[in-house]
Amino acid sequence: MTSPLHDSSVRGFASDNYSGVHPEVLEALTNANGGHQVSYGEDQYTQQLEAVIKGHFGAEATIFPVFNGTGANVTALQSLLPRWGAVICASTAHINVDENGAPERIGGMKLLSVDTPDGKLTPELIDQQAWGWGDEHRAQPLAVSLTQSTELGTLYTLDELRAITSHAHAKGMRVHMDGARIANAAAALGVSLGEMSTEVGIDILSLGGTKNGIMFGEGIVVLSPNIADSMKYLRKMNMQLASKMRFISAQLLALYGTELWLSSATHANTMAAKLSSAVALVPGVELVYPTEANGVFAALPNAAADALRERFRFYDWDRAAGQVRWMCSFDTTEADVEAFVVALKEEMAAL
């Protein structure tokens, strides 16, 4: 048996992608590994996942497992748009900031971004870009993409989501939800996955998995039936069709076929709340956004952040403003949080 190449005692708050794989997900992968199963999604795990997804999102829902979040977002948005279509999104949206040029270069779509105070779109903010239909000189705004929870760790309420979908649909636009952290949002709001998507009028959803304890894979959940026919072709064109799909589906099944998605997200949120409460009491540290899910955004001197980063890995969010992001995961412990806060206090005192 080979030894690990890394020190498994090292902990960090940089991203929920830094965490390992939940033991129940590893067990599910092992169980899915025996024998032969039909490839490209005709396996028993993908079929069972389809039933689970209908249980969460309604009888009309269909899931298309894919490799990663960027692939899910780009492929989902492509299904909503003709070649001349554009997507309205927050300027902080993952599709606008963290996916290189994939939406534009791979998806072939224009992003129409809007500045927001808290990462959340509103009907009024959407209207800053929702214009120009019929003008051949302007990419046509035909979709809205929102993220739940947002890139700033904030949450849309169900009423806010309904307001956006109603407004967008009235203008002939469809709505995509980037749900990379949808489990954290549902856990924080105390609602079901379907209540936060299908029941408020979302047309298509990128269903997260990697940030909540699986090894790899996400899902595209089609909630408007007339979109599903094109999805299987788009998934293949975008190199997101897994030949051994059972191994993505088995992980999503372990997560969403049980309460694991909820318990893991609830734990991550709880650790973030604990971290947020503690750092708010450290002199010289200021919370810059409310902690509503599993992310904590704070402002502190760059010198202290740089010194602290030598002990715990995390990212600058806006270095010019001295803002950083600290993320909690399904495996973050109270001891991790306590050790981090002690280190933070020491580095602040050393200034």
Domain count, the chain: 2
Distance CA 334, CA 228 (A): 43
User: Is 292 in the same domain as 211?
Assistant: no
User: Is 284 in the same domain as 228?
Assistant: no
DSSP state, 112?
E
User: Is 234 in the same domain as 278?
Assistant: no
User: Is 197 in the same domain as 219?
Assistant: yes
User: Is 217 in the same domain as 308?
Assistant: no
> What is the domain extent for residue 162?
23-256
User: Is 273 in the same domain as 291?
Assistant: yes
Neighbours of 70 (CB within 10 A): 22
Q: What is the mean pLDDT of the chain?
A: 97
CA distances from 349 to 280, 283, 307, 311, 338 (A): 15, 9, 12, 16, 17
User: Is 111 in the same domain as 176?
Assistant: yes
User: Is 300 in the same domain as 222?
Assistant: no
Instruction: Give domain status of residue 182, yes or no.
Output: yes
Instruction: Give domain status of residue 5, yes or no.
Output: no
What are 63's strand-pairing partners?
Answer: 221
Confidence of residue 233 (pLDDT cuts 50, 70, 90): very high
Distance CA 108, CA 113 (A): 16
- The pLDDT of residue 3 is above 90: no
- The pLDDT of residue 340 is above 80: yes
| pLDDT, tens digit, 9 for 90 and up, residues 120-170 | 999 999 999 999 999 999 999 999 999 999 999 999 999 999 999 999 999
> Of 240, 256, 272, which residue sits at a domain end?
256
Instruction: Give domain status of residue 12, yes or no.
Output: no
Q: What percent of the chain has pLDDT over 70?
A: 100
Confidence of residue 225 (pLDDT cuts 50, 70, 90): confident
pLDDT for res 187: 98
User: Is 128 in the same domain as 245?
Assistant: yes
User: Is 40 in the same domain as 157?
Assistant: yes
Instruction: Give domain status of residue 18, yes or no.
Output: no
CA distances from 196 to 76, 184, 205 (A): 18, 12, 11
| pLDDT, tens digit, 9 for 90 and up, residues 29-50 | 999 999 999 999 999 999 999 9
Instruction: Give domain status of residue 281, yes or no.
Output: yes
pTM for the structure as a whole: 0.97
User: Is 318 in the same domain as 192?
Assistant: no
